[in-house]
Structure 1
Amino acid sequence: MLARTSCWMALTALAAAALMTPAAAQKQYDPGASDTEIRIGNIMPYSGPASSYGVIGKTEAAFFAMINAEGGINGRKVNFISYDDAYSPPKAIEQARKLVESDEVLLIFQPLGTPSNSAIMKYMNAKRVPQLFVASGATKFGDPRNFPWTMGFQPNYQSEGRIYAKYILEHFPDSKIAVFWQNDDAGKDQVKGLRDGLGDKVGMIIADKSYEVSDPSIDSQIVALHDSGADIFFSWAAPKGSAQAIRKVGELGWKPKFFLANTATSVASVLKPAGLNNAKDIISTAYFKDPTDPRWNDDPGVNKWRAFMDKYYPDGDKSNANNAYAYVESQAMVQVLKQCGDNLTRENVMKQAANLKDFTSDMLLPGITINTSPDDYFPIEQMQLMRFNGETWELFGDVITGEVGHQIGN
């Protein structure tokens, strides 16, 4: 009798296991995902004062078109839905609501700009929808404790400021610094990084002037900074403001040691409009390959990017670094979705985004990798200094790891 009972229990357990196996292997979906599709939302300033960044959204659309032509991600085609917010926070909120509540996207990928992302961050976290790989280096987008559904991507602005400070202290310790900065969280982060990096030498900063991204002219600020007597000039501004600053410095005949924000280094959209002669010897930072740098002429990764541009975005300007930046971000997004497998829930998207290990891209500089964890929402924390020679950017020095880490939210 005991043997029969044991046999019956074993058979019952096997039957239960058989019934559970299909359920355990069942695909899991949230809104925006199915057997055939992954809907990804995006918010980009295709118009307005930061419209030069709009090419990023166009490159991303082209990248996902390539992915679809190659069979999609785990057999699913990407439906990339991108809206214009004109770099306006109220418009960004409107577009985020449309993407989440009407289009029912799985996530919002690479929404651009510190003001716009600041405006939608609480909404995205309340809705528990990933706001993933934010196109801003503001440190607030790396705060998993308070905003677990929001993750940045590029090196944070405070790290960039500290890298410049280290270089200045080593090479120009007796200089006087003037700072031109964008009056928002991005600009404040950058200035904080510089000030923190200078430490007890912060008195080297003798003047600073801010501007609004919507300002038609920034001439008065640049003239005031010139008149301060500084011999180092920092420009932390969006592409349009940076181009204006470079041109005005040139018109004044001012020859300071010029440092330019990493986000405004595009030869096509910043330096050419400013005048390449005015941009000569400017120093900035990089973490991905500059397509205009001859050193990458035979690089397999850059050649792959060029082939992508020729086929899927033939109207795109290969000298515009924003098109390379968008490619790096898009490759990382595809990696996250590949890691998700058939568990395409919003929770798993964030889990996989926080589990990138030494991931690299065709367009990242050698030695720079993408790493995240549940406590580290800063995917890239390394940069290299570069100098503009009048035609292209030239890298110099070693890859430097930023010192601003994972204290956010602690």
Structure 2
Amino acid sequence: MRLVTGFAALGAAIFVMLPGASPAADFRGVTATEIKIGQTMPYSGPVSAFGALGKGEVGYFKMVNERGGINGRKVNLISLDDGYAPPKTVEQTRRLVESDEVALIFSSIGTAHNTAIAKYLQSKNVPQLFIGSGASKFADPAQYPQATLGVQGPFRYEARLYARYALAKNPGAKFAVISQNDDFGRDYLSGLKDVLGDKYEQLVTAATYEIQDPTIDSQIVKLKASGADVFVIAATPKFAAQSIRKAFEIGWRPMTFLSNVAVWVSTVMEPAGLEAGQGILSTAYVKDPDDPAWKDDPGVNGWREFMQKYVPDGDLHDTNYVNAYNSAMALEHVLKACGDDLSTGNILRQAYAIKDLELPMLLPGIKVNTSPVDHVPVEKMQFMRFSGRAWERFGELQTGN
């Protein structure tokens, strides 16, 4: 018997034998009793806060296994640390495919990281499902025929919503953007360009950072000097907190939008200073367990029970665990739909045939849908504003499609 053993370089695995299961099928990563899947996670390194996603997903499949597994098979999730370094992602993914012989890669984190492994996985005919990235390029079936975006709002759609909102409030607005210098950050710039069109160069001042940078104070000072009325923070949690704090320290108070990958109160807003974040705008697609609106919600209560039993050390204020719950539930749906045919072809057919799937931790009205030509599971989002204590949603659901 192999159980959860940790979240460092050796990874974490769940595996419990199930007696009396059906005969083993001749599919990679599949036996009579097991479905083996793999992922890479930044359990160490500059964005280790995102390791909560892997911990939550490992916990979810532990719960699934205790309930009897999926169609008579237990799920063996092997979760390996890549330190948020694409070369390490490639190394660990090769291990998962060639040594562990997983049936699919699930929810690996990072835009550059998933880009680095995509062609390799295609060459090995290994699905790359519910990617831990909202980068719009992964929605292109021609370029990434064996991939789906994660169960999250796409970055480019998000940026379009920010540009439209800002221009509705101030048609003459000028934009300043701090973004990570990779495809994650560039997707936000692309979304602004989609809305601003030919005026983009005239209206946008952009600054970038590298994930290894110790601070981005100089970039924020430069952006303030541009005279921008709107500040878009397209950053991971550490740099998002730095951006909010520095802008506040230098007395810069533009309309500010924060990437929804960095809205966590405990790891971003509190380190930045709660007063500094007051009035910042972002978008939501999941239920925030801290929102009093969900106090008696069955979905939130079910999530809390899951966390208390299967991720007892997890921070109940960290919505990464909500995203983990949603992603794992979406994959469970796909694997259930496969029945006993766990071939790559059928896994992909089911991943691209999700119809109006309601997940208990998505906002009401948001459903998961995919098709062979639509690899974007979630397209709708709702605006929210930080009150200085918590995020408060407002307005109708919107799509940046």
Q: Give the TM-score of the pair, scaled to structure 2.
A: 0.92
Matched to 2:296, the amino acid is D
Q: Quick check: which one's helix share is greater?
A: 1
Where does residue 68 of structure 2 map in the other structure?
71
Moved more, 272-281 or 304-313: 272-281
**Code of the aligned partner of 2:147:** T
| 1:298 aligned partner | 296
Bigger-Rg structure (1/2): 1
Deviation at 1:206, TM superposition (A): 4.1
User: Within 1, Cα distance between the matches of 2:202 and 2:385?
Assistant: 22
In 2, Cα distance between equivalents of 1:236 and 1:325: 19
Tell me if structure 1 keeps the 8 A contact 2:23–2:32. no
Asked if structure 1 preserves the Cα contact closer than 8 Å seen for 2:285 and 2:381, the reply is: yes
CA contact (8 A) 2:23 2:31 kept: no
- The structure-2 alpha-carbon separation of the partners of 1:366 and 1:29, relative to structure 1 and needing over 3 Å to count, comes to farther
How far 1:26 moved relative to its partner?
8.5
Q: Is the 8 A contact 1:383 1:400 kept in 2?
A: yes
**RMSD between superposed Cα atoms in Å:** 1.4
* Structure 1 partner of 2:83: 86
Q: Distance in 2 between matches of 1:227 and 1:169?
A: 21
Equivalent of 1:275 in 263, 273, 276: 273
Q: Are residue 371 (structure 1) and residue 369 (structure 2) matched?
A: yes
Give the unaligned 5+ runs of structure 1.
1-24, 404-410
Q: Using the TM superposition, give the Cα deviation of residue 231 of structure 1 relative to its aligned residue in structure 2, in angstroms.
A: 2.0
**Aligned-partner Cα distance in 2 for 1:26–1:60:** 27
- What amino acid maps onto 1:115 in structure 2? A
Deviation per residue, 1:350-377 (Å, 9 max, x gap) = 1100010000111000110110001111
Partner of 1:263: 261
How many residues of Structure 1 are paired with residues of Structure 2 in the alignment?
A: 379
Match of residue 59 from structure 1: 56
Q: Secondary structure at the match of 2:179?
A: strand
Shift >6 Å, 4+ stretches: none
Aligned-partner SS, 1:279: coil
Q: Hey, what does 1:325 align to over in structure 2?
A: 323
Correspondence 1:10-409 to 2 at 5 A:
28-153=25-150, 154-202=152-200, 205-403=203-401
Runs of 5+ unmatched residues, structure 2: 1-21
One-letter code aligned to 1:218: I
The letter for the 2-side match of 1:198 is L
Equivalent residue letter for 2:80: Y
| Structure 1 residue 58, shift from structure 2 partner | 0.5
SS in 2 for 1:400: strand
**What letter corresponds to residue 180 of structure 1 in structure 2?**
I
Decide whether the 8 Å contact of 1:276 with 1:390 is kept in 2: yes
Equivalent residue number for residue 4 of structure 2? none
Structure 1 residues 302 and 194, CA gap change in structure 2 (3 angstroms):
same
Question: What is the distance in 2 between the residues matched to 1:371 and 1:206?
Answer: 34
Query: 1:179 touches 1:205 (CA, 8 Å); kept in 2?
Result: no
Q: In the alignment, is the contact (CA less than 8 A) between 2:156 and 2:190 conserved in 1?
A: yes
Question: Which residue in the other structure is 1:6 paired with?
Answer: none
Counterpart amino acid of residue 227 in structure 1: A
Give SS of 2:79's match: strand
Query: Matched residues, percent identical?
Result: 53
TM-score, normalised with respect to structure 1: 0.90
Contact residue 177 and residue 204 of structure 1 kept, 8 A: no
